[in-house]
Structure 1
Amino acid sequence: MQQDDLIGVTLGNYKILAQLGQGGMARVYRAHQENLDREVAVKVLPPWFAADRNFVERFNLEARLIARLSHPNIVTVHDADEYHGHLYIVMQLVDGGTLKLRLDQLQALNQLMDVLEAKRIFTQLASALSYAHEQGIIHRDVKPVNVLMDRAGRPILSDFGIAKALAGSKELTRQGAGVGTPEYMSPEQCQGGPVDGRADIYALGVMLFESLTGRLPFMADNYPALAHSHIYEPPPHPNAINPALDPAVSQVIITALMKNPAHRYQQASDMAEALERAVHSLPVDTGQRGSGPLEYNDPSRVATIPLFTCPNCRHFNKAQTRFCTACGFPLNPCRICGAQNPANNRFCSKCGQPLHKHQ
């Protein structure tokens, strides 16, 4: 196929205008939807996928599931179809670049992403993942190029479901493509095991590491070496690469990158909450915290509020906190099932077993 063979072609209701990008799996075009007179993005898969009827069924099923998602940080899917051997999926057009482009721009300037910018981007991405996970949908390929940015700087996660649809395709091996991207794959993905939302949280941790240190936690020129690192090797401590990074923010990254899924944040919203608290604890934000509720200002209340000590940094935390507000460390994990419980729980909220207390 020529690189521009679809320019000017009409796929269903969509006239292909220009190529926006190309990845290992597909090309993305700007297109005009003629019946509604609007511009959209059309992702077109290589023709060999359309020849695999099992893949086509999975692709259509995943497209229907993703089209039901409605979240400000998840790209809207308008349509999916097949036309003359071309499988395509039609999405909202987001034309502010990608997180990959943003990181490349910072690297070209020999700069790192500001922690406030990272907090803004990653809490929104975590919100998108939490929402999708609640709907039973796992992304499986979270990476900077799949984070679209609109012109206001809002991150919008794309390509939900594509990795799952590809998972059973025999063409993957033959065409040299893989499910997921090795630099961002969780240990369980690298081992070919079952995955859940915690694999996406790991990938989010890799991206946060990359954004705040300027490099990936693991680098190699081949898949086996990368997979080995994800499975067996501890990532470098973020502060070893960026000493200016606050330890509380580093701890958020470290927790997201735990090898055992049970030791990571169990929900993306947990990671977002820990990141918010870590950033708000920074001295630079001290003058901006007066707008929020100050719960411990009344001395008469302090003695009546039970506090729980973090076993990692000895910071005091409120009873319903699951992760330390200072360093992000799990406060009350279940040793049986790995669930993260509020600090004051005596029994695991997931499996009911008695919990070991740190206090």
Structure 2
Amino acid sequence: MADHRNPSGRRPPMLPLPPPPEDIPRLPEVNVDDSAEVRIDHRALAPNRDSLSGAREVVRQRSPHDTTRVGRPPTMEKPPRKAEPMRRSPEAAAQAAASLKTNRFHTPTAPPRSAMVRVQTAQHSSLIGGRYQIVKRIGQGGMGKVYEVNHIHLSRRFALKIISNQVAETDEARELFYREARFASAMSHPNITSVVDFGEDEKVGMFMVMEFVDGEPLHRILFREKRLSVRKACEIVLQVAEALHYIHKQNVVHCDIKTENILIAEEELEAKRTRMVAKLLDFGLARPLTGPRASTSLSGTPHYVAPERIRGEPASPSSDVYGVGILLYELLTGQVPWDGAVQKILAGHLDEQPKPPSKLIEGGLDPAVENLVLHALAKRPAERHKDMAAFIYELKTVMDMLGIGRRRAGAVGPSRRVVIEQKPPEKSSRRDELARIAFDACRLPLALLTPQGQIVAANPAFAKFVMGVSVEVEGLPVKSTPLAQAWSTAEQDISRTLAGSPIRRIIEIDVSAEETRRLLLWLDAVSKDHVVLGVQPLEL
């Protein structure tokens, strides 16, 4: 069956495949004005088998208060193998964190443009900024070029990004480039590419220096492998989600999650072991959650943009949750949910339900994984995971159920569990407060479920019963918890309860190799939209 990666429908050659062409055709930038009318050349935006997913360009909706503009990020070109991982010193990381706190609500201003005439391309052995010697070019994108450089005093390799002459002519693009450097340099996380220097050279103009990552862009891996295994896709998305969770705690939203902005590298461990490391790139569209940059303008790649952004709402952590959902969908199936012309893509985000991933994968997909993806792709932010921590928790739970949990091959150190704090309502009556205390203190596992089986409230006894430890489970579907293994009729039972037929069901759970425990599971409707689930032992 033909898809956007293989329009001819012919069977692809056996692996190994040659790398994709270095100069993948670029598509024109599309501007979306306030009337939301998009004028495009449909021939230019038609899917191209030489590109990963057809029309992959930036959609932008202007507002009177925001003029941010962005181009496609640079693509790495055959990076050398076995690079030493670069790490910033503790002093540099502390200084960067202090800078972020000091300037969190301040929109940085790019330095004034120099009047010097710029060269078009940095030459081999050229010296940039008086200390970075060009080794070779390793990537090129809409904003400029990326080079492998050597620091002449430290004898260390770095990646140096130069803003192109055409882009540098606009103050808007210069501010964008400078803001990207400021945001990225303030981040210190193992799954984020570190920015270590920034400046302006008399010959090549503005430049940004990053740690050198010896890896391969994720979109090239996907181009070669067509789709990834569930294990590999989940491990990559988990690392990206943890990086985004860190970014959100700094009151910043990334707003540009896609396979082109993720590098996959290998990190050497002890005893000649290695492990896969995902690195998140490009903070060109990142914006703070507060302050003047918290605007409603639409910037980003149309395939990954959240519905609320299209409707004109400001970016939020939930927008990144949606982007991670699209990323996981693409890695599992080899295609994005909606493709083609920009208008069609945006309409899909707003009005169409994505095709279930299990329908696109030969042999199907585990229901827990599919529920995780579709949960993240809910149209309304309130129906998704309430934050990135909740997404991470459900993803780790699903990975544990599938036997691909956090104790991966090559993993070191103790496992971590994300705890989601539940904030009590700001205004509540005395009776509501007493009811909450009684609900939480009850020793019987109790939970409140939606018609779709999502847990909207649960007491600590329920969390400990299904997860083995007392943590918050609100926002998780019952299907993604270990309880689903013993309760296969959950959907039918919830529907019957809401229709007026309370359920009393006996289930059996293996607590050890020799012991099986029988439990009474009961459901009662408390409103037309909620049922209460309780579990109690039949034998004390």
Give the TM-score normalised by the residue count of structure 1: 0.75
Residue equivalent to 1:163: 285
Residue equivalent to 1:87: 206
Task: Measure the CA separation in 2 of the matches of 1:181 and 1:3.
Answer: 27
Cα shift readout 1:55-103 (whole Å, capped 9, x = no counterpart): 4345434422321211111111101222235222111111111221221
Cα shift readout 1:119-154 (whole Å, capped 9, x = no counterpart): 221111111001001101111111111111222320
One-letter identity of the residue aligned with 1:159: D
Task: Measure the CA separation in 2 of the matches of 1:58 and 1:292.
Answer: 38
Give the structure with the larger strand fraction.
2
Gaps of 5+ in 2: 1-117, 268-275, 288-297, 409-413, 417-441, 464-470, 482-528, 533-540
Question: Is 1:118 the equivalent of 2:237?
Answer: no
One-letter identity of the residue aligned with 1:41: A
Quote how far apart the aligned CAs of 1:53 are.
3.1
Distance of aligned partners of 1:324 and 1:52 in 2 relative to their CA distance in 1, 3 Å threshold: same
Residue equivalent to 2:155: 37
2:446 to 285, 303, 307: 307
- For 1:195-344, list aligned pairs within 5 A: 195-220=315-340, 222-242=341-361, 243-282=363-402, 304-308=443-447, 310-311=449-450, 312-313=452-453, 318=463, 320-324=472-476, 326-327=478-479
55-64 or 270-279, larger mean C-alpha shift: 55-64
| Secondary structure at 2:318 match in 1 | helix
Q: Is the 8 A contact 1:248 1:326 kept in 2?
A: no
| Secondary structure at 2:337 match in 1 | coil
| Secondary structure at 2:479 match in 1 | coil
| Secondary structure at 2:253 match in 1 | coil
Residue equivalent to 1:184: 304
Q: Is the 8 A contact 1:25 1:46 kept in 2?
A: yes
Distance of aligned partners of 1:24 and 1:61 in 2 relative to their CA distance in 1, 3 Å threshold: closer
- For 1:50-61, list aligned pairs within 5 A: 50-61=168-179
- For 1:17-32, list aligned pairs within 5 A: 17-32=135-150
Distance of aligned partners of 1:194 and 1:150 in 2 relative to their CA distance in 1, 3 Å threshold: same
Distance of aligned partners of 1:49 and 1:3 in 2 relative to their CA distance in 1, 3 Å threshold: closer
Task: Measure the CA separation in 2 of the matches of 1:326 and 1:3.
Answer: 58
Residue equivalent to 1:130: 245
One-letter identity of the residue aligned with 2:162: V
Quote how far apart the aligned CAs of 1:358 are.
3.5
4-13 or 127-136, larger mean C-alpha shift: 4-13
240-249 or 200-209, larger mean C-alpha shift: 240-249
Runs (4+) of structure 1 exceeding 4 A deviation are 1-6, 313-317
Quote how far apart the aligned CAs of 1:196 are.
1.4
Quote how far apart the aligned CAs of 1:52 are.
2.6
Residue equivalent to 1:351: none
Distance of aligned partners of 1:305 and 1:28 in 2 relative to their CA distance in 1, 3 Å threshold: farther
Question: Is 1:67 the equivalent of 2:206?
Answer: no
Cα shift readout 1:309-346 (whole Å, capped 9, x = no counterpart): 643348995272113364359xxxxxxxxxxxxxxxxx
| Secondary structure at 2:378 match in 1 | coil
Task: Measure the CA separation in 1 of the matches of 2:211 and 2:134.
Answer: 14
Task: Measure the CA separation in 2 of the matches of 1:43 and 1:292.
Answer: 36
One-letter identity of the residue aligned with 2:258: K
Task: Measure the CA separation in 2 of the matches of 1:314 and 1:206.
Answer: 21
Distance of aligned partners of 1:263 and 1:314 in 2 relative to their CA distance in 1, 3 Å threshold: closer
Question: Is 1:11 the equivalent of 2:128?
Answer: yes
Q: Is the 8 A contact 2:449 2:530 kept in 1?
A: no
Task: Measure the CA separation in 1 of the matches of 2:120 and 2:176.
Answer: 27
Number of residue pairs the alignment of both structures matches: 303
Distance of aligned partners of 1:6 and 1:265 in 2 relative to their CA distance in 1, 3 Å threshold: farther
Residue equivalent to 1:106: 225
Task: Measure the CA separation in 2 of the matches of 1:81 and 1:127.
Answer: 30
Task: Measure the CA separation in 2 of the matches of 1:234 and 1:51.
Answer: 42
Cα shift readout 1:215-265 (whole Å, capped 9, x = no counterpart): 111110x32222222222211111221252111111111111112122222
| Secondary structure at 2:149 match in 1 | strand
Quote how far apart the aligned CAs of 1:159 are.
0.7
Task: Measure the CA separation in 2 of the matches of 1:149 and 1:292.
Answer: 22
15-24 or 249-258, larger mean C-alpha shift: 15-24
Residue equivalent to 1:154: 277
Task: Measure the CA separation in 2 of the matches of 1:292 and 1:189.
Answer: 35
Q: Is the 8 A contact 2:247 2:253 kept in 1?
A: yes
Quote how far apart the aligned CAs of 1:5 are.
4.7
Percent of aligned pairs with the same amino acid: 30
Superposed CA RMSD in Å reads: 3.1
Distance of aligned partners of 1:321 and 1:66 in 2 relative to their CA distance in 1, 3 Å threshold: same
| Secondary structure at 1:252 match in 2 | helix
Distance of aligned partners of 1:91 and 1:58 in 2 relative to their CA distance in 1, 3 Å threshold: same
